[in-house]
A and B are shown apart, each in its own frame.
Chain A
Amino acid sequence: MKNTVKLVLLLTLIFSVTAFTSSNEIEYNGYGVGDLVRDFKLENIDGKMVSMADYKEAKGFIITFTCNTCPYAVAYEDRVEALNKMYATKGYPVIAIMPNNVEVKPGDNMKEMKIRAKEKGFTFPYLMDKGQRVYPQFGATKTPHIYVIEKTEAGNVVKYIGAIDDNFQNADEVKNKYVEDAVNALLEGNEIDVKQTKAIGCSIKV
């Protein structure tokens, strides 16, 4: 009898440890290309809440995890703004999400986000991932980190993950405009050539 109790206890322990581990993994795996994206509701710099569902006319989204304080993110600010100017009217607006813990990076707090957005004249929403719940769902690990999303019958589907282009240092020397190519392919109903790219960025501050 004693042994049975021990066995049950052991099994329970193993089960709970395994369950805990796997739920952790799910949380951090994030989206891959082809996955459906859960909508979010995050506060914009103008105080209003923004969700993908608000964009009734959109065909999709260019979602960028970015911040004020990462030099790589800063290097791409003008190019993100250009993407919004180019594609918002064609149905693919930019939505920027700031994922960092602002206690670790005060330079990324809401006040600083407002200042930066005004200085740079951002025409897209710049949302705060308050509580840092959205970036782990996406599986974003760094700033900048881009997700191109297409609105379909089934829901919002990830079509591209990675960098904006292949030269963070110099916009004039870019050879591959990954995000533009992806959105153009979606607009023309073609298959995206490069669906995933990797680039250096600042780790998201937790």
Chain B
Amino acid sequence: MKRYLLLLALLTFACKQNEVNATIVNENIKLKATIENNITLNVYNFNEFEPLLNKEDDKVYIINFWATWCAPCIKELPYFETVNEEYKSKNVEVILVSLDFPKQYENKLKPFIKAKNLKSKIVVLNDVDSNTWIPKISEDWTGAIPATVIYSKDKRAFYEKSFNLEELKTEVNKFLN
């Protein structure tokens, strides 16, 4: 509440004096940052992350590897969001695995999650020794992202490719029938 009063005060003041605009912008950024910082990231190394790849319940899991700096990943994220929403009742869960760099968690990843209002479960994988863990996700993975794993307790598929919504639904449906 205090912040808003301060902002209001600044706004009023700004009407008289243009130079103050910069201060208001700064204050806005601070407010925005406060909201964004409420997002708590689950940052895992590979050992901590691995159980998410091997759940043995009745769900179908879609694990998508992405990063805010990866343009084709950003392009396909809405499709994963759509599938997560539309297939919830069919026992399908999307897990978005961010490979963003640690120094960008605060200034890029959190603001992105907030701005896009991402609803799927998000985890962050921070493990530099990718030569060890990439083959554990799939022997076929060269390491390029985007990449996606779809699995249920008795079936598994790996895709080193970009999806459109239709393709993604087709692949998920293979796990449902």
Do A and B pair up? The answer is yes
Q: Are A204 and B128 in contact (CB under 8 A)?
A: no
Q: Are A203 and B145 in contact (CB under 8 A)?
A: yes
Q: How far is the CA of A141 from the CA of B67 in the complex (A)?
A: 17
A-B interface pairs (CB < 8 A), number: 66
Interface residues of A in 188-206 (CB under 8 A from B): 197-205
Bitwise, A49-65 to B at CB < 8 A (1) or not (0) is 00000000000000000
A163 within 8 A of B: yes
Nearest-CB residue, chain A, relative to B103: A169
B118 within 8 A of A: no
| Chain B residues touching A, majority SS | loop
Nearest-CB residue, chain A, relative to B162: A203
Q: Which residues from chain A contact B67 at a C-beta distance below 8 Å?
A: 71
B44 within 8 A of A: no
| Chain A residues touching B, majority SS | loop
B28 within 8 A of A: no
Q: Which residues from chain B contact A166 at a C-beta distance below 8 Å?
A: 128-131
A147 within 8 A of B: no
Nearest-CB residue, chain A, relative to B161: A203
Interface centre among A104, A162, A173, A199 (most CB of B within 10 A): A199
Interface residues of A (CB under 8 A from B): 70-71, 104-105, 141-142, 145, 162-163, 166-170, 173, 178, 197-205
